[in-house]
Amino acid sequence: MGVRLFDRRPDGLHATPAGQQMVAVAERVEFEVHAAESLVMGQDTDLRGSLRVSLFDDIFRVLAGGFGSFIQRYPGVDLTITSTLDTVSLTRREADIAIRLSESPPEGLLGRRLGSVNFAVYASEALIAQVGEDAPLQDYPWLGWDERLPGKWLDTWLNDNAPGAKIVARIDESAILRKQAIAAGIGAFFMPCYEGDATPGVRRMGPPQFSRPLWLLTLMELRHTSRVRAFMDHMQEVFSTPKGPLTDAS
């Protein structure tokens, strides 16, 4: 094209103004290509092929049985399960289905609600014995969210329910790190009830404090894709039974 798109600098390549314009054009082209793929996939009626499902790691405890029975029911589907709390782009096909906690499906996505997940405060048995069985919540050391995360709701909750409580350590969104920190007696913190109640050496401190709806999410264009629809139908069927996986958690 005879136009310089990037400048090479000691810290890497930097787009020139012309390069920035080309990036914008390339992103639009990429979006249209993925949109076309989604439209074609939406007409797919064969229960074979790949299916990518994104979830957050600590919810897999209650989903594992549903995944297992789906694989047995539809052996022709090549299932990939990815774990992340980061936002995944369904449009870019980073996943065909996302399983997320949300008050409502994001705009432009088709959602099916599986149920609700309750959250309560948990602490280790050792920490409870150390602080005292009848001690108020503010007497406990607390974990907090990494300050880079949106955690204003936690500050508000602590002010209302444990005024003056001291946060001794902050953690990121890792469910494994959170569980291990609570079990080690570092501090009290929230856990999903299905996870906290099943963790040895950890005790629930009072009733659930709040709940979050759990959703299956996909693109509108993929709602007629046979394997996407089959997965969403199957998981909803599993979770709608009287003894469904979220019965104790909701």
Kindly report, residue by residue over 158-178, the tens digit of the pLDDT. 999 999 999 999 988 778 889
Residues 142 and 202 in one domain: yes
Q: Is residue 201 part of a domain?
A: yes
Residues 60 and 169 in one domain: no
- The CA distances from residue 48 to 74, 90, 140, 193, 248, in Å, are 8, 20, 53, 36, 34
Residues 216 and 93 in one domain: yes
- The CA distances from residue 246 to 63, 67, 98, 130, in Å, are 9, 14, 18, 33
| Domain range enclosing 174 | 118-209
Residues 106 and 217 in one domain: yes
Q: Is residue 246 part of a domain?
A: no
Residues 88 and 154 in one domain: no
Q: Is residue 250 part of a domain?
A: no
Q: Where are the alpha helices (H) located in 42-163, listed in sequence order? A: 60-73, 125-131, 152-161
Say which residue the tokens 């299916």 belong to: 51
Residues 127 and 78 in one domain: no
Residues 109 and 220 in one domain: yes
Looking at mean pLDDT, say which of 106-120, 122-136, 168-182, 216-230 comes out highest. Answer: 122-136
Residue 69 has pLDDT above 80, yes or no: yes
The two tokens of residue 118 are: 């309750």
Residue 228 has pLDDT above 70, yes or no: yes
Number of structural domains, the chain?
Answer: 3
Residues 75 and 86 in one domain: yes
The two tokens of residue 211 are: 């709940």
Residues 146 and 75 in one domain: no
What is residue 124's predicted lDDT score, i.e. its pLDDT?
97
Q: Is residue 1 part of a domain?
A: no
Query: Which phi and psi (to 5°) does residue 228 adopt?
Result: -65, -50
Residues 180 and 132 in one domain: yes
Residues 113 and 82 in one domain: yes
Which CATH number goes with the domain that contains 204? Answer: 3.40.190.10
Q: Is residue 249 part of a domain?
A: no
Residues 160 and 191 in one domain: yes
